[in-house]
Structure 1
Amino acid sequence: MATLQISSLTLEVANRTLCRDLNVQIQPNESWCLLGRNGAGKTTLLHSLIKQRVIDEGSVLLDGKNIADLKQRELARKIGILFQQGIEALPATVFETVMLGRHPHLQSLLLDNEKDIEIAEQALAIFELGSLKERPVDTLSGGELQRLALALLLAQTPEIFLLDEPSNHLDVAFQIKLLTVLTDKVREASASLIMATHDINLASRFCDNIILLLEGGEALVGKCSDVLTEENLSKAYGCPIQSVYSGEHRLFYPA
């Protein structure tokens, strides 16, 4: 499985530093969350990991190779992303859309082999879309589109999963259910996961490690159990954050 090394990374937007000299190593079997207030740079950081955003300083290495030197298809075999905006309502069926996840692995652009079809159908079944496989994508609800985006990502079988606000358009029950399914699949594959989210409680529930983005380019990096404190979160979000335990889960809320 792939290892991602973020070294001395600096990202700037409109003369504002989002992160400065960030150093993180993402190993197989690790789950990471990206937390910070609106505009902190969570999406920008994710995009910099797949060459969708130019890096101002520093480097990102995938298995020791600078991603700047990798072709996009080679990168897509290793890293997959769920974009915040999800999937557009394309003039295609649900099955045709999820098959796009297999594109980086296809030996022929003209023929779909049985293995690729099986992987795509399994992904649809996991996210409860099997009965909708022949439906046009432009007839799906917002929640169904988000589930399709997750199925497409799973069908891609990357070694590193990047999730940008994966709970968008999902009700509370589906948020927990689908993220549980996805994180279980990531773990089974010995892959790694980086999830950007606004939801502190989802982050603490599904991730073991954290990058907490603060003002001025500062970031706190470490175990969720160490970094997710009332003091650190209050500093990051600019308002008092308190916590309470409910069973084994620690829940955070604005005071």
Structure 2
Amino acid sequence: MSTTLLTLEDLVIDIPGRAAGMALDFPVLPGQCWGLLGPNGAGKTTLLHTLAGLRRPRAGRVLLDGKGLQNVPRRRIAQRLGLVFQDHYDGFPSTVLETALIGRHPFLRAWNMESAADHDLARRALTQMDLEALAGRQVQTLSGGERQRLALATLLTQDPPLWLLDEPTNHLDLHHQVAVLDLVRREVGARRRGAVLALHDLNLAVIYCTHLVLMYPDGGMCWGPTDDIFHVQALERLFQQKLAVVDSPEGLWIRPVPGA
């Protein structure tokens, strides 16, 4: 099996009403965390959905473990990659624990129930997301931040080697934003997972991402290691916003210049 988790091979995402953009061509390797940066409408969510096989690309292809995604059974895809959506809609009543256990469904045979080991895995995931006290709560009663953390607990319960995260810090307070991204960094580093995540906070992106993809509204792209890509001039052009660099004991920070 290829050590490359995911490969974007001349991949052009399909955004209706927009001319074809630049083709993306790079691998996602174990130990890499790729951050997607760009303004609203640039295609970050579309790219993540394309990588998960939920949308067809306009051109090119996605390889999962070296095989074309269209040739991989959906069950196998669900065992190898997990996607956390930006927003969550719960159509059926369930508890927090029952929702986390959905992460084990790709590994169950038809009509099988979750095992004791599956329950242990789900409870550990809830503990990691600071939700263990809410295991018996109905998911519809959760706040937006709690529901986002539950989505991440479900991903931990699923335990795939590749994580696709659409704004994983959405709805989270500052403490939980840092806790979630610390978790991603630990899992990517210590357990050699791969991650691709859309972010809006530039400073969090430079701290936590090993690689970046800058996505422009006209379909332009640039990508590479964070140290090569994270430059103020490129980010100002990306967001059409004047930025200032602040030197602090913790390193360089970028902030917007008001009124500019």
Query: TM-score interval w.r.t. the shorter chain?
Result: over 0.9
Residue 208 of structure 1 is matched in structure 2 by 210
Query: Which of 244, 247, 250 lines up with 1:245 in the alignment?
Result: 247
Counterparts in 2 of 1:91 and 1:18: CA distance versus 1, 3 Å: farther
Offset of residue 181 of structure 1:
2.2
Counterparts in 2 of 1:17 and 1:123: CA distance versus 1, 3 Å: farther
Aligned residue for 2:23, secondary structure, equals: strand
CA–CA distance in structure 1, aligned partners of residues 151 and 228 of structure 2: 32
Structure-1-length-normalised TM-score: 0.94
Offset of residue 107 of structure 1:
3.5
CA–CA distance in structure 2, aligned partners of residues 88 and 2 of structure 1: 34
Counterparts in 2 of 1:25 and 1:43: CA distance versus 1, 3 Å: same
> How do 1:96-135 and structure 2 match up within 5 A?
96-135=98-137
Offset of residue 136 of structure 1:
0.7
Query: Which of 21, 26, 34 lines up with 1:24 in the alignment?
Result: 26
> How do 1:210-249 and structure 2 match up within 5 A?
210-249=212-251
Aligned residue for 2:22, secondary structure, equals: strand
Aligned residue for 2:21, secondary structure, equals: strand
Q: Are the aligned partners of 1:11 and 1:17 in contact in 2 as well (CA < 8 Å)?
A: no
Residue ranges of structure 2 left out of the alignment (5+ in a row): none
Q: Deviations over 1:12-43 (max 9, x none)?
A: 32331463211111001111100001100000
Counterparts in 2 of 1:155 and 1:229: CA distance versus 1, 3 Å: same
CA–CA distance in structure 2, aligned partners of residues 240 and 14 of structure 1: 30
Offset of residue 208 of structure 1:
1.0
Q: Deviations over 1:98-126 (max 9, x none)?
A: 00001111235432112211111110010
CA–CA distance in structure 2, aligned partners of residues 18 and 79 of structure 1: 26
CA–CA distance in structure 2, aligned partners of residues 141 and 209 of structure 1: 32
Structure 1 stretch displaced more, 112-121 or 94-103? 112-121
CA–CA distance in structure 1, aligned partners of residues 227 and 135 of structure 2: 41
Q: Are the aligned partners of 2:245 and 2:252 in contact in 1 as well (CA < 8 Å)?
A: yes
Query: Which of 32, 40, 45 lines up with 2:42 in the alignment?
Result: 40
Q: Are the aligned partners of 1:2 and 1:191 in contact in 2 as well (CA < 8 Å)?
A: no
CA–CA distance in structure 1, aligned partners of residues 119 and 89 of structure 2: 20
Offset of residue 216 of structure 1:
2.5
Offset of residue 6 of structure 1:
0.2
Q: Are the aligned partners of 2:15 and 2:46 in contact in 1 as well (CA < 8 Å)?
A: no
> How do 1:77-156 and structure 2 match up within 5 A?
77-88=79-90, 90-156=92-158
Paired residues in the alignment total 255
CA–CA distance in structure 1, aligned partners of residues 121 and 217 of structure 2: 42
CA–CA distance in structure 2, aligned partners of residues 202 and 103 of structure 1: 32
Structure 1 stretch displaced more, 56-65 or 174-183? 174-183
